[in-house]
Amino acid sequence: MAISWHTKSAHVAFDVEMICRRSHPQGESLSSAGIVLDTSRQPVKIVCEAKDLEALQRKIASALNFVKDLDVMHILCDMSETPDTWWPHILVTVAQSLYTVPNQAKEFKVYVSPGERSWEYAKRLADSVIWVKDLVNMPPNLKPPQALATLFQNRAREKNLPINWHRLELEDLIQMQAGGMLAVGQGSANPPVLLAGRYEGKPGSPWLGLIGKGITFDSGGISLKPAENMGRLKADMTGSAVMMAALELAAEMHWPMNILAVAPLAENLPDGAAYRPGDVITMMDKTTVEIASTDAEGRLVLADALTYALESHVSHVIDMATLTGTNVIALGGVRAGLVFNDERWAECIFQAGESSLEKVWKLPHDKAYQDMNKSLVADLKNSGGRAGGTISAGLFIGHFAKSVPWAHIDIAGMAINDKNGATGFGMLLMAEVMQCWIRDYA
């Protein structure tokens, strides 16, 4: 994606001049739609006005979706008439509105006025969203587990970020008896990888664990998914992309916090070596699990990654995953589902969702939902069925959190759509969660 960010210069002739404005409750509206778009002049003039951030983002997206197909490159974005807390969201909206998949990318140069206090953070956050979108949109044959792990590491190394990497290959996972990751990955010619990155920005303080589901392609395995739209399952690694991008953003910003980010990467395919419904596997923490469905694979890799994080002594943990289709049924693709074992930690994440406009909804966690995962032949089974499936799936992962404050964010239905491909959902949410951590926990 060819978007670059610059400070305003008198030496640049702009193709588009866009003013973003917060309207006042008693003020006169610019127009009934809150948008002025004049393409008859050079440069093209855009004014977007709204009383709240969410409405302003919609207007910016509408205007830029129109002009991005014109012959334009240099775009001035004037945010001086909005609160500075809006600027990161505005630039992310600009990036998402101008975005096209990498092989079709046009070059855009976006300029802002110098001296805007949120500028550095805003442009880095926008770049993070673009990077997540690029990775999710990447064809699955170009991002098998080992390749995706290398992509995560290379970006950090290119930026010379203070991140220490620990990469566990197939032989390491066998030695660690990571039964969940090994089972999911054994049907693919591309072996699984567990990648962990550590950023220590506040020595001596607690560590936050970030875990992202990294299924680089999910066919469903022996429990094969329908052929229609199966190609969208290249997005089943969105959680890992968001969590690694969050780690790198914290390191870029030199935030005073300690993060362990873990990406359990595997490819779920059927062949003669694939795991089967009816199998019983032993997880890294020695929990035995009956395989009810090989298409309930994400919770298996996340469970082993969670055990790894706990053994690394994190004090709180979040996992993010495109986990269950029932999340879309329950919440309609409007909010992500939140399953948790600690109310204070869940409230931090809920409020981060409200602030970032990437909203979540707290789901119940009664013991009856946990009991859906009971097995006759093992400690647990990996699917409690479709009824209450988002909750029981989350609580399956929660079993491996033990007594550590934990939260699971199900972003199924939020990560990709037919119109624009990857959405980048989760990145703004995690940026706000990290700010909560710095304020209340670090």
Q: Answer whether the bond into residue 192 is a cis peptide, omega within 30°.
A: no
Catalytic residue among 8, 58, 124, 225: 225
Crossing angle of the two packed helices 87-98 and 427-440, in degrees rounded to 10 = 160
CA dist 224 to 340, 386, 413, 440, Å? 30, 16, 19, 44
Distance CA 63, CA 432 (A): 27
Q: Minimal CA–CA distance to 199: which of 131, 152, 250, 132? A: 250
Q: What is the DSSP letter of 224?
A: P
**Residue 109 annotated in active site:** no
Query: Bridge-partner residues for 250, per DSSP?
Result: none
Q: Minimal CA–CA distance to 306: which of 220, 389, 194, 217? A: 194
Distance CA 67, CA 272 (A): 52
**84 phi and psi, to 5 degrees?**
-65, -20
Evaluated on CA atoms 154, 157, 161, 164, the torsion sign reads positive
Contact 414, 425 (CB under 8 A): yes
Q: Minimal CA–CA distance to 29: which of 42, 47, 41, 3? A: 47
- Residue 107, SS3? strand
Catalytic residue among 59, 123, 234, 299: 299
CA 69, distance to chain mean position in Å, is 28
Distance CA 220, CA 290 (A): 16
**Residue 213 annotated in active site:** no
List CB contacts of 142: < 8 A, sequence separation 6 or more: none
- Residue 412, SS3? coil
Contact 340, 408 (CB under 8 A): yes
Catalytic residues: 225, 299
